[in-house]
Structure 1
Amino acid sequence: MQVAENVTSLPLARPQTEQFRLAALQRYQILDTGPDAEIDFLTSLAARLCGMPLACVALVDSERVWFKSGHGVPTHALERNDSYCALAVLGEAITEFSDVQQDYRTAGMSWSVQTPQVRHYCAAALCSPDGYPLGTLAVMSDQPGQLSEEQRSTLQQLARQVMAIFDRNVAQSALARVLQERELLATTDELTGLHNRRSLQQKLTFEVARARRFRSHLSTLMIELDQLAALRADFGPAAAEQLLASVGRLLRESVRVIDVPSRYNESQFCILLPNTPPDGAQILAHNLRRKIAAQVHTLAQRELLLSASVGVAALDFMDVNDGDALLQQAERALTQARTEHAGHLPLHG
């Protein structure tokens, strides 16, 4: 930040509702964002309609004034005590200095004593819908002067247009978040955080089509906790859900970004493995069984270990040539593994 030598910025008054004003500013999430063509247009339009060579859109943060847009002025941030805009958020709809060099509060500010050598300054407050001034749309000149009532009214109208753009952008961001959350809810199993059955089917259709096109590998694992039914009977459904959530988290953390771990049904998981040959899927199945067996769970003040059965299937473009066939093959493999790996329930403590 450039400041003139031997110039001391005097502490400026702050709005009585400063904490609420700053909270309103933060809700817009606009500080330190990139250029906006619409805001830049309104800034230059304000300069032209008010007959002033300089204009800016400034937002007054806790200790700085940050410039969203500038016309003929530098747009680096200024210390709050070194900016006219900090005076324009004290409650007035319009703030005007006919000659900033004649006011003790502004005479020593950097823009008064060096480039852009401001003399005349007029700003319309940018107010949130709940009435808090967030910043200004300001026009400036290097000559003393005063805006006409029509020009002041025009500046206020343009300031309202700037706020309309800010409000629209906030609404669009909020809508995007809602849509993203809805999509997440529609494709995510709430208990485990994994893909749900619907999402798995969508991913499966896509991955099968891609595997056919590029003749690439596609494998899947079907996983079931061997003791889950007994645990549900002994400890209740809440305990079973606790275990499923824990194992779901382990699966999510144990696969690649391109893999699709999912909750297949009430007691089974399914992991779709793109670009994975059958031997690679077998290795992963072994590693996951080992990790699941190493997890220690606590139910009713007792520690217990689980084991899992895993069925492995792979697309072969012959007998297993589509998504349904792939899942059916994995279910058959799981049934066989379940008979071979039926686990017991080691208790500790």
Structure 2
Amino acid sequence: MILERPLHVAVLMGGWASEREVSLTSGAGVAEALESRGHQVTRIDMGRDVALRLHAARPDVVFNALHGVPGEDGSVQGMLDLMGLPYTHSGLATSVIAIDKQLTKQALVPHGIPMPGGRIVTREELFKGDPLPRPYVLKPVNEGSSVGVAIITDDSDVGSPIDPQARGPWQEFAQLLAEPFIKGRELTAAVLDGPDGPRALGVTELVVADGFYDYENKYTAGRTEHIFPARLPPEIAALCQHYAVKAHQVLGCRGTSRTDLRWDEEAGAEGLFVLETNTQPGMTPLSLVPEQAAGCGISYADLVEMLVAEALRVHGQRQAQGGRHGPADPA
């Protein structure tokens, strides 16, 4: 047991975001792991009464197993800050920035982290003409788990310009981020905080049976092969981990994060790009952070307790500095 004493942990899960089912699976796994270590667990499927339920439960700490809005965008983090409750994963300011793909670019690129270019477009602009030369990628500005991502190629059955009646994210989102398509290999690197600061756990390559690493391929067993450690040149593996740790630090992430990358091996190191950093990585049986942790000898239950321990450490540090009600992000 990593924690010194049994705790009462409230596990926030579910909610009403598009990633609700993934969050429920993550939360169930976390709750079972905590109970296996002797902790008291209160499971909370988040609704509009979440603050009242947390106040009634009076937990020692909250494990945030929510994905998407509002559990990943700073809304829940701000509520927990006001309630004075310690909680896992990143704080308010970090969450606001990292959930927004355009804000993430503005934060990371000046620090030497390469990311694809692109711009925000409205659906009306898309229907008038392509915002970038094909192939290009369209993705929602504020969603995770590759929800609503579309790759537009010359062979795409969406028309040119895009037909408003064609199936795609433009039917659901008024604004989208358009980025150049980066060909090559799909990679991801998890970062875990510890007593000596953040460290990368390694790099996984994701090989999809059909299509790309979208929401369905992420969470359907057998659709994606996870190769860990990724079979990469040592210098590329090291660069992936460097970018992941740097993004974690620049954004002010805490506990854990996962940075997704694409690598065009024909271009060498110049072909490596960061796509995004996830502040609330999944904790499901198919999730990448627990998988990489296991590859480093960290069990699922140990990983969960480490995240709780880090939440308590950061909260204690903030209290000592007199910042109980301030932003949750460490400097």
Q: TM-score, normalised by structure 2?
A: 0.21
1 or 2, which has the higher helix percentage? 1
RCO higher in 1 or 2 (8 Å CA, sep ≥ 6)? Answer: 2
Q: TM-score, normalised by structure 1?
A: 0.21
